[in-house]
């Protein structure tokens, strides 16, 4: 796909140009550096946007080296002008790459020019150890923890903290801390004592906030950015992995409430069975108060159970199947069921308000107020959900099934975030840079800009420097039925997935848009491919599954949404990506359905303006899993005939790099023989 570049040339941006020049700091600092025109163009574009205070949207294809291309100019701008830049990513993996690999390189480059650079990674507060809550865990360990193992773990943490910990971030603590223990000792902003805290001077979170204020480049995740506090003042923001921005913003602007979340909240306040909880730790309440609390939490537990049951039954979730995936049902109007939780929650909040006067320490008082705040928020969210008033939001319930009891949750999310982002982000007066390997559809950023409220940015559309014409082939097996043919199409997918491994010695991704088809194909291939280990999404955490897949070298991984993006497997450990179906988002998911109704009501062509470009972007993400380095080679296989038979199919084909197309399994085998190991 050709590059679309409407910025000035690199030479016009004197800062980055000097760094990327032959023999310059980049070449001297980056091991095995290979000049890439696209990387220099992106660096110049970012520098220009920052210096001219303009927004910029950049698509940088795989292999461009976009992290250096935005870190170097932003660091240069920050260091020269005493500015602060926030870099917000979607994944922790990219955050770690930036602070452990890329930013040290950029710092070394600037040091050559006599420019100091400070950078820092700030995590969300729940990732930090709280010394006050840690101390409380010792005084009340029998009230907080269920087992000797949990008590021992908390004791080990207290001993470790005495040694003068350099960081309280969970990932830096050299101890294995069970989640249950961590929840009782991590920082909780609702109970933070602030200036009253006796550990204020030693506070590990406060220490990191101070370092964040001193940093020229501050790395955070996108969720923390939208949460706002406690980010220091900044002068520019760069969103990497920006294709996730709409969903992150929608989640932040909405809410979700689960039955398990309610149970955990109530148990933390007072659990009559275990005799644990905040109410039991208070030393000064009158006897009748504790009896009333026992009654109140019981009433809330029963009301919550009945409410979630009534909602899921009314929405028609049906019989629970222990192996079924999560199911969702949309709420379309108010008064679905009575709000039986409102009155018991009110009684509980009255008792918690009384408990403020029974607290004997500042920490106890903060804990009581924190639980009171959460109960009030819960009451408000349940009420808003059941009222279902706003046409600008989608409301839905979800039930996920496991071997244990099913979990039910209630959700609300805005169908459009463009106005909120336009007002709260793009109109704030600082430059915003959005970048990803996939932001455009058919050479246009129109959908991304419209969905995010980005009205008049500078644009850069940069292709990949990889040689796809020699490194990859595109295989479209003949005689695949249309997906609308149902059983015939699914049978054809299974048949092709059985045949393809015979032509590919390396590892393979089978990417699906449907859990049902994934399961059927996986079952059909089990025990029929000796010597080829099979991996299925859900068996382990994604990172562990990928690690096992890489080690296998010739495995076959069955995945859905998680594995279409953000996965980096180089070499022949991933030699073939099979896309079972063009990734159109199902319109019957509650949020997508509500979005499309909202667009239709405003006269938009939903398919052309939204569904199609969104599917093209997702398709490009799947395609992009294949070639991750200059020495990679492999094939992408598409088992959806619509890419050839439908008029819109050409948009998918134009969206990917040019590479040879083949039509037979024999040609696929020949490609791998001829390409050979490199």
**Structure confidence by residue, pLDDT tens digits, 248-305:** 999 999 999 999 999 999 999 998 888 888 898 888 888 899 999 999 999 999 999 9
Contacts of 35 (CB under 8 A, 6+ apart): 20, 22, 27
Alpha-helix runs per DSSP H in 131-221: 131-139, 141-144, 148-162, 179-185, 204-214
Q: 3-class secondary structure for 237-274?
A: EEECCHHHHHHHHHHHHCEEEEHHHHHHHHHHHCECCC
Q: What confidence tens digit (pLDDT) does each residue in 574-591 have? A: 999 999 999 998 887 899
| CA–CA distances in Å: residue 392 to residues 134, 415, 420 | 43, 6, 12
Contacts of 484 (CB under 8 A, 6+ apart): none
Q: What confidence tens digit (pLDDT) does each residue in 62-94 have? A: 999 999 999 999 999 999 999 999 999 998 889
Residues of the chain with pLDDT under 50: 1-13, 319-323, 678
Q: Where are the beta strands (DSSP E) in 385-479?
A: 393-400, 407-414, 432-436, 458-462, 472-475
Contacts of 256 (CB under 8 A, 6+ apart): 409, 410, 411, 412
pTM for this predicted structure:
0.90
Contacts of 163 (CB under 8 A, 6+ apart): none
Fold that domain 468-675 belongs to in CATH? Rossmann fold (3.40.50)
Closest CA to 341 of 392, 290, 265: 265
pLDDT for the residue 2? 38
d(CA 599, CA 596): 5
Q: Is it true that domain 4-118+215-235+430-462 has CATH number 3.40.50.300?
A: yes
DSSP, collapsed to helix, strand or coil, labels residue 388 as coil
Q: Could you count the other beta carbons within 10 Å of the beta carbon of residue 457?
A: 21
Could you tell me the two tokens for 570?
């180089």
């Amino acid at each position: 796909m050709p590059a679309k570049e409407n910025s000035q040339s690199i030479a016009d941006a004197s800062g980055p140009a000097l760094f990327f020049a032959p023999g310059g700091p980049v070449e001297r600092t980056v091991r095995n550096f290979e000049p890439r025109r696209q990387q220099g163009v992106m660096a110049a574009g970012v520098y220009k946007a920052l210096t001219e205070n303009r927004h910029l949207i950049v698509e940088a294809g795989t292999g461009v080296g976009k992290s250096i291309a935005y870190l170097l100019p932003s660091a240069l701008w920050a260091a020269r002008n005493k500015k602060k830049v926030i870099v917000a990513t979607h994944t922790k993996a990219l955050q770690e790459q930036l602070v452990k690999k890329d930013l040290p390189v950029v710092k070394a480059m600037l040091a050559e020019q006599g420019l100091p650079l400070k950078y820092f990674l700030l995590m969300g507060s729940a990732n930090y150890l709280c010394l006050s809550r840690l101390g409380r865990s010792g005084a009340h360990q029998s009230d907080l923890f269920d087992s000797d193992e949990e008590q021992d773990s908390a004791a080990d943490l207290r001993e470790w903290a005495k040694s003068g910990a350099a960081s309280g971030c969970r990932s830096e603590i050299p101890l294995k801390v069970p989640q249950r223990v961590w929840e009782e000792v991590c920082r909780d902003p609702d109970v933070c004592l602030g200036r009253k805290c006796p550990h204020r001077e030693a506070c590990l979170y406060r220490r990191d906030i101070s370092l964040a204020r001193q940093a020229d480049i501050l790395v955070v995740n996108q969720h923390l950015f939208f949460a706002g506090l406690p980010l220091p003042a900044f002068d520019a923001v760069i969103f990497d992995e920006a294709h996730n921005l709409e969903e992150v913003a929608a989640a932040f602007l909405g809410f979700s409430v689960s039955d398990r979340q309610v149970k955990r909240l109530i148990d933390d306040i007072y659990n009559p069975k275990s005799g644990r909880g905040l109410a039991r730790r208070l030393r000064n309440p009158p006897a009748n108060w504790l009896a009333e609390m026992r009654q109140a939490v019981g009433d809330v537990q029963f009301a919550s159970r009945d409410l979630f049951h009534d909602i899921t039954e009314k929405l028609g979730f049906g019989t629970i199947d222990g192996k079924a995936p999560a199911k969702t049902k949309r709420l379309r109007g108010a008064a679905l069921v009575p709000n039986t939780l409102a009155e018991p929650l009110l009684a509980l909040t009255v008792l918690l308000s009384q408990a403020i006067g029974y607290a004997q320490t500042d920490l106890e008082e903060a804990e009581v107020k924190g639980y009171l705040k959460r109960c009030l928020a819960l009451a408000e969210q349940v009420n808003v959900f059941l009222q279902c008033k706003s046409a600008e939001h989608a409301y839905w319930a979800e039930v996920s099934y496991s071997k244990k009891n099913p979990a039910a949750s209630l959700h609300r999310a805005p169908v459009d975030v463009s106005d909120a982002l336009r007002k709260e982000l793009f109109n704030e007066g600082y430059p915003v840079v959005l970048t990803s390997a996939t932001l455009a559809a058919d050479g246009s950023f129109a959908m991304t800009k419209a969905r995010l409220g980005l009205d008049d940015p500078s644009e850069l559309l940069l292709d990949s420097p990889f040689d796809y014409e020699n490194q990859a082939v595109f295989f479209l097996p003949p005689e695949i039925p249309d997906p609308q043919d149902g059983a015939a199409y699914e049978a054809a997918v299974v048949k092709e997935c059985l045949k393809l491994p015979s032509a590919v010695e390396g590892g393979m991704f089978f990417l699906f848009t449907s859990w049902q088809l994934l399961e059927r194909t996986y079952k059909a291939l089990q025990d029929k491919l000796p010597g080829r280990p099979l991996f299925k999404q859900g068996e382990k955490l994604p990172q562990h599954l990928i690690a096992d897949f890489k080690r296998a070298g010739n495995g076959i991984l069955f995945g859905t949404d998680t594995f279409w993006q953000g996965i980096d497997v180089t070499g022949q450990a991933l030699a073939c990506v099979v896309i079972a179906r063009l990734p159109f988002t199902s319109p019957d998911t509650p949020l997508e359905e509500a979005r499309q109704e909202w667009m239709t009501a405003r006269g938009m062509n939903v398919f052309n303006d939204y569904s199609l470009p969104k599917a093209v972007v997702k398709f490009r993400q799947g395609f992009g899993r294949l070639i991750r380095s200059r020495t990679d080679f492999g094939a992408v296989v598409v088992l959806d005939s619509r890419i050839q038979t439908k008029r819109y199919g050409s948009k998918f084909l134009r969206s990917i790099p040019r590479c040879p197309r083949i039509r037979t399994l024999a040609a696929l085998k020949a490609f791998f023989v001829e390409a050979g190991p490199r």
